[in-house]
Structure 1
Amino acid sequence: RRVAELHSKPQKKTEKKSKVPTHFDLSELPETELLFYKEPYKREFTADVLWKEGDYVVLDRTAFYPEGGGQPSDDGVLKSNGDKFEVLDVQKSGDVVLHKIDSENGVRTGEKVKGEINWEKRSAYMRHHTATHILLGALRSLLGDHVWQHGVQKGEESSRLDVSHHKRISEEKIQEIEKLANKIVFQDRKVNSLWMDRNEAEKKYGHSLYQGGVVPGRKIRIVDIEDWNAQACSGTHCTHNGEVGLIKIINRERIQDGVERLVFASGLPVLESLQEQEQRIKKSAETLRTSPDEIDKAVQKLFDQWKSAKKEVDNLRSRVADLKAEKLEKNSESFNNIQILAEKFEDGDSDELIQIGEILTNNNKNMVVILASGKTSANIIAMAGEKALEEGINCGEIASEAAKSIEGGGGGKPELGQGGGGNVEKLEEAIKMGVKICKKQASGDNNG
């Protein structure tokens, strides 16, 4: 199973719009009893339907967690009179929790229903939410109290934590953070969740409580990992952090100046990710005909062989370029105080054309070289020796004007210009145009 894909763009802090339809009048409904706080491991419950409109249902009590605090909502089913309805989304409006189901003609107001949570998903969220607090504690412990939560999003397979920090977090420091976070996990510390008077909470824990932002209300919910990290938080968490399992940071990136994004996983997703990596390593080892333990040596050997082969290829290309340049030089045309050489090749990339041009212009300082090649796309280069430049030659202009003939563009400096285009059939025309511009420059006629 894949870990969740990363989001590379920084999240703008904007006021989140409620998903609850604005025309709903919920003012007469009582506060929904939140079972997920009282009994976070409760998977099933019974409740009375207090209100229904369209595919939205309000119950007198619920174990379904509504979206909030970077944690997605629960899903699952509601059962009524032998029928089963999927719970697709859960949102909170004021003190009332709304459940969006997959039917507008299912449950009815006044009847009893049985709710069943998708426990696999909920438990993953609980582990990742608890892991977020553990990881943030490790970051602040090792990097300093200036580290502040900038954004967070929990997922089933991975979660992300954006934190403020003045520089990139090194690979060595990432490993230290992982080790400390997992050390805390292995200590299986108690995770206490309690409601406190705001002033008392701030006096006891300080304003670092508000890592996820200042929460409203005179009473706030505190999640306190024993002697490690305390935050004002409305999410669901494990009651002992040992349930989190192994924490692994799987990616990090700088999403904006002063903000580092860490993507991490905990529990079974870590094992699955490591197993995927192990399979890739084994497959690579088989391709390299070595063992997984020796793959680093095999890769280094292959890289060294590639470097050696590349050097040989470069030497051969250089020798070929020398031979081509020697053969071409006799085809140059004298014009005023310069020599002009214009040739078309059936193949060869820009690098090869430049290599030939360098040899020719180094051997003859009066030389102007206009070379072109192409099969599927057209390339053209213009190069000039030192004395040709003194005669007013501008290769950037030559390449630019010549490239128009092949329906492309180009430019460059006086000593080297390059161009390209899609019309290979007009390469001869482009070369002629290049020669024409070159002669005008050598004649002192730069006004067209």
Structure 2
Amino acid sequence: MNSSEIRQKFLDFFASKKHHIVPSAPIVVKDDPTLMFTNAGMNQFKDYFLGNKPAPWPRVANTQKCLRVSGKHNDLEEVGYDTYHHTMFEMLGNWSFGDYFKKEALPWAWELLTDVYNLPKERMYVSVFGGDEKDGLPADEDAFKIWKKILGGEDRILFGSKKDNFWEMGDTGPCGPCSEIHIDLRSEEEVAKTPGKELVNNDHPQVVEIWNNVFMEFNRLADGSLVKLPAQHVDTGMGFERLCMAVQGKQSNYDTDVFQPMIQFVAEQAGVKYEDNEKTDIAIRVLSDHIRAIAFAIADGQLPSNNKAGYVIRRILRRAVRYAFTFLNFKKPFLYQMVPVLADQLAHIFPELKAQQAFVQRVIEEEELAFLRTLENGLKRLDSLNETFKGNQNRIDGKTAFELYDTFGFPADLTALIAKENGFSVDEEGFEIEMQAQKNRSRNAAQTEQGDWILVGDDVPTEFMGYDAISTEARIVKYRQVKTKNKTEYQIVLDRTPFYAESGGQVGDTGFLESDLSKVKVLDTKKENDLIIHITADLPLDMEVPVLARVDEERRRLIQKNHSATHLLHAALREVLGTHVAQKGSLVNDKLLRFDFSHFTKVTESQLRDIEAIANQHIRQSIPLDEKRNVPIAEAKQLGAMALFGEKYGEFVRVITFDKNYSVELCGGTHVPNTGEIGLLKIVSESSVAAGVRRIEAYTADQAQDYINNQLEQLESVKEALGAQTNLTAAIEKLLSENNSLRKQLEQFELKQLTTLKDTLLSKSQEIAGVKLIAEKVEVSSSNYLKKLAFDTRNAAGDNLCLILAAKIDNKPQLAVMLSDNLIAERNLNAVNLVKELAKEIKGGGGGQPFYATAGGKETSGLAAIPGKAAELVKSLLAK
């Protein structure tokens, strides 16, 4: 049974049990501040468990893309070394939202594994929750009794600890006891030696958990306490890769057809044989695993970057490049070549990667190129520190190792590997101290203390009224306090609201909550899963009386103009540049619109003019808004609506149309009633954001008019300054020509001055122990002229020259040291050592080569002491 058949049999089985099959949510989480990535199949259903939103179906099943490389669930360091840990993996799952519970879920799990997949019953063990005194929870006797009946005895049932048999998504949120199913894949000989029951949950590579049935009964609060959920739910998760290993009778996930196409491709390209060498095997597994996480994260909208989720993806990518570079000898980008293999393999179940294959490849290739340069620079840095290491007992100190990590993005394990190859070691403890210090700084800067929700009224879902109204009477449902380092805020949930919560690139509304007793300003509105949260600095005086929720109308109006203009801009981009253009991010506020899109080259000025003209043409046509709500997703796609990659759409969607032949998009934001209200769109910048991603910023309405007027005013000022009221271009060209001519004359003059200065320096040479020392403060206009003066003087002086120059350039002190080659070989002088010592006078530092080195500093007053200090320093060195 191949992996595609295994996956389909799971979905078909639960469809036969009246489960609705839903698509995978994106791997990148956008509306849940507690998560960066989807780390479990239940993430997209969190609100159903909490009761924040009614579930559209009582039973669902799917396969979910998951990523576990950060936070509580972090498997990164095990990936490649063992047979069953992964970064990105598929989680097969079935859920019940207040419908069935243990007595249905557990028999179904056993039926699927034994009757459909024909896994041997005698090789499977189950575990149930054994209770926990701290939380006051008893052992799960109900699950035990059900399993005892299914198995016909209790020999293969284990009571597990809270660690193993109480599932929690994170520090807070839905949770509950769970029952795991484990399978023993060892040989008959090994089974005879050691019973499988003894190896359950002991990290044995062939005795592994394949399915976890979680019984969601509780919600973990911020204070650590547990409260009962409104209803009992079932949340199961079965690792697809492990299931394939079991069904296909393999000893490793990597031996299944989930990974083998990728593994064989990498091995062939690297010119090695898989299962021939441990180090290359680990590297091949790392690449075959990591490319899945990297590619799907990018396809779902998360570009590699230096912070948050983007940094996690960059870290995974760099870890893969490090293994490819070190163990498989890939010195040029290679990971991007793996994308087509993966995209073809999973096109039938995850078509989003195939649809964006070229874009994903481009992003990965550029990231690889950047890090390979980093590797090269880091290696040079290590080479330059060789002498330092030798003088420090052949050990790289923790601070230096951390500098390589922090400045060059050099993984600590790569530093250790290269150091070992050169006979060094790394102060790992010192590195960890530096790393922890940085984490503490970041944590202290952004520490947030979030309280639990306090109910005021009935905990009902918020009804959003914002498409039709900017104010409405509402009641406060609940609130909580949030403390950061510098302030305290409150988050308020209403039973109904006109406030739009930040999402889809559109910023959250501001406004007021008003009653007869008080008026509280809403500073922002955000979404947490499906909660609409109003952020305030204060609470209303009486939380139980109705309030008037009123949006800042003028600000909302400007936001709507920019949002609708974004749709028109998107359509214009596709018309001018091609249908490959797809939204990769946006920001819509009351000041501007910012639109990121996939495109591989700079947008030319001519293209920008065409794009702007097309968008403005549709603005002037005053096209009325065609808004359709609760449209079945299939019908919306038939209408031609563009769905954004990385967005999670339900069964019913909202379609925004401005001319059915021009702009049709799925969108939850607010818009103008007709395009004429936008007034004008003016593109003000176009730039690169990342590989294959461009960014346009634009103004609309009054902001656009103000921008144009400002540009015209500047143009008039330039005309007036140049005295050119008619042909400004000719006047500028004349000015540039005159400027170039004067610059050449000035350069010639300065070069003559340098010749004179060189002769003056040579006349001031003093002899010290056979060395011609010239140490002077000089006046030059640039660093390039200082360098030229040094080289010209050396060429004229010949052997035995020690030249030390001090200059004030652009109000900053600079030093230059030049030595004749024979002084380096015969007198053991070194320009780098000299310049570093002299730089102390100007509170600076420098470096270079043994014959020529430079330094900069902060203290220009120290330049006067350089000639005297230089003479003393050279005398002392020559006297040794």
- Structure 2's unaligned 5+ residue stretches are 1-304, 313-447, 481-489
Equivalent runs, 1:384-403 vs 2, <5 Å: 392=825, 397-398=830-831, 400-403=833-836
Correspondence for 2:742 among 289, 309, 314: 309
Amino acid at match of 1:237: H
Report if the CA contact (8 A) 1:137-1:229 is conserved.
Answer: yes
Specify the alignment match of 2:640 in structure 1.
205
- Structure 1's unaligned 5+ residue stretches are 1-8, 441-447
Equivalent runs, 1:371-410 vs 2, <5 Å: 371-374=804-807, 378-383=813-818, 392=825, 397-398=830-831, 400-407=833-840, 408-410=844-846
1:209 counterpart SS class: coil
Specify the alignment match of 2:772 in structure 1.
340
**Shift in Å at residue 230 of structure 1?**
2.0
The Cα offsets for residues 314-366 of structure 1, whole Å up to 9 and x where unpaired, read as 22222222223334434446799x98351413533544444444444444554
Alignment partner of 1:188 is 2:622: yes
Specify the alignment match of 2:705 in structure 1.
271
Closer, same or farther in 2 for the Cα pair 1:148/1:416, shift >3 Å?
A: same
Closer, same or farther in 2 for the Cα pair 1:365/1:53, shift >3 Å?
A: closer
Q: Would you tell me which structure has more helix in proportion to its own residues?
A: 2
1:210 counterpart SS class: coil
Report if the CA contact (8 A) 2:454-2:478 is conserved.
Answer: no
**Shift in Å at residue 313 of structure 1?**
2.2
Closer, same or farther in 2 for the Cα pair 1:341/1:355, shift >3 Å?
A: farther
**Shift in Å at residue 382 of structure 1?**
4.1
Report if the CA contact (8 A) 1:223-1:231 is conserved.
Answer: yes
Aligned equivalents of 1:94, 1:438: Cα separation in 2: 70
Report if the CA contact (8 A) 2:597-2:694 is conserved.
Answer: yes
Report if the CA contact (8 A) 2:835-2:847 is conserved.
Answer: no
Aligned equivalents of 1:292, 1:119: Cα separation in 2: 43
The Cα offsets for residues 37-66 of structure 1, whole Å up to 9 and x where unpaired, read as 2x2xx4444x24253547655554332222
2:714 counterpart SS class: helix
Alignment partner of 1:222 is 2:655: yes
Amino acid at match of 2:870: I
Aligned equivalents of 1:56, 1:373: Cα separation in 2: 60
Equivalent runs, 1:64-143 vs 2, <5 Å: 64-81=499-516, 83-92=518-527, 97-101=532-536, 103-111=538-546, 113-143=547-577
Specify the alignment match of 1:445 in structure 2.
none
1:120 counterpart SS class: helix
**Residue correspondences, number:** 420
The Cα offsets for residues 74-94 of structure 1, whole Å up to 9 and x where unpaired, read as 222333237543233334556
**Shift in Å at residue 156 of structure 1?**
0.7
When the two structures are superposed, what TM-score results if normalisation uses the length of structure 1?
Answer: 0.78
Amino acid at match of 1:252: E
Aligned equivalents of 1:323, 1:262: Cα separation in 2: 53
Closer, same or farther in 2 for the Cα pair 1:404/1:43, shift >3 Å?
A: same
**Shift in Å at residue 273 of structure 1?**
1.4
Closer, same or farther in 2 for the Cα pair 1:371/1:312, shift >3 Å?
A: farther
**Shift in Å at residue 124 of structure 1?**
0.9
Aligned equivalents of 1:31, 1:377: Cα separation in 2: 63
The Cα offsets for residues 166-186 of structure 1, whole Å up to 9 and x where unpaired, read as 222222222222122222222
Amino acid at match of 1:248: K
Aligned equivalents of 2:819, 2:627: Cα separation in 1: 77
Aligned equivalents of 1:85, 1:11: Cα separation in 2: 34
The Cα offsets for residues 96-137 of structure 1, whole Å up to 9 and x where unpaired, read as 6444455424354354x4343211110111111111111111
Correspondence for 1:254 among 681, 688, 691: 688
The Cα offsets for residues 202-237 of structure 1, whole Å up to 9 and x where unpaired, read as 34426x3225x3334221112122221222211101
Closer, same or farther in 2 for the Cα pair 1:115/1:35, shift >3 Å?
A: same
2:505 counterpart SS class: coil
Aligned equivalents of 2:653, 2:451: Cα separation in 1: 27
Alignment partner of 1:232 is 2:666: yes
Amino acid at match of 1:230: V
Amino acid at match of 2:867: E
Closer, same or farther in 2 for the Cα pair 1:356/1:219, shift >3 Å?
A: closer
Amino acid at match of 2:633: R
Aligned equivalents of 2:765, 2:492: Cα separation in 1: 86
Aligned equivalents of 1:359, 1:99: Cα separation in 2: 70
> Which one scores higher on RCO, CA 8 angstroms, separation ≥ 6?
1
Equivalent runs, 1:139-178 vs 2, <5 Å: 139-178=573-612
Closer, same or farther in 2 for the Cα pair 1:89/1:321, shift >3 Å?
A: closer
RMSD: 3.9
Amino acid at match of 1:381: A
Aligned equivalents of 1:332, 1:258: Cα separation in 2: 58
**Shift in Å at residue 296 of structure 1?**
4.1
**Shift in Å at residue 35 of structure 1?**
2.4
Aligned equivalents of 1:389, 1:292: Cα separation in 2: 64
Task: Point out the more displaced range, 253-262 or 27-36.
Answer: 27-36
Amino acid at match of 1:428: P
Alignment partner of 1:424 is 2:863: yes
Aligned equivalents of 1:80, 1:292: Cα separation in 2: 60
Specify the alignment match of 2:164 in structure 1.
none
Specify the alignment match of 1:323 in structure 2.
756
Closer, same or farther in 2 for the Cα pair 1:24/1:261, shift >3 Å?
A: farther
Aligned equivalents of 2:872, 2:613: Cα separation in 1: 67
The Cα offsets for residues 126-151 of structure 1, whole Å up to 9 and x where unpaired, read as 11111111111111222222222111
Aligned equivalents of 1:281, 1:439: Cα separation in 2: 64
Closer, same or farther in 2 for the Cα pair 1:389/1:266, shift >3 Å?
A: farther
Closer, same or farther in 2 for the Cα pair 1:191/1:431, shift >3 Å?
A: same
Closer, same or farther in 2 for the Cα pair 1:210/1:318, shift >3 Å?
A: closer
Report if the CA contact (8 A) 1:36-1:62 is conserved.
Answer: yes
Aligned equivalents of 1:410, 1:102: Cα separation in 2: 50
Task: Point out the more displaced range, 22-31 or 172-181.
Answer: 22-31
When the two structures are superposed, what TM-score results if normalisation uses the length of structure 2?
Answer: 0.42
Report if the CA contact (8 A) 2:762-2:797 is conserved.
Answer: no
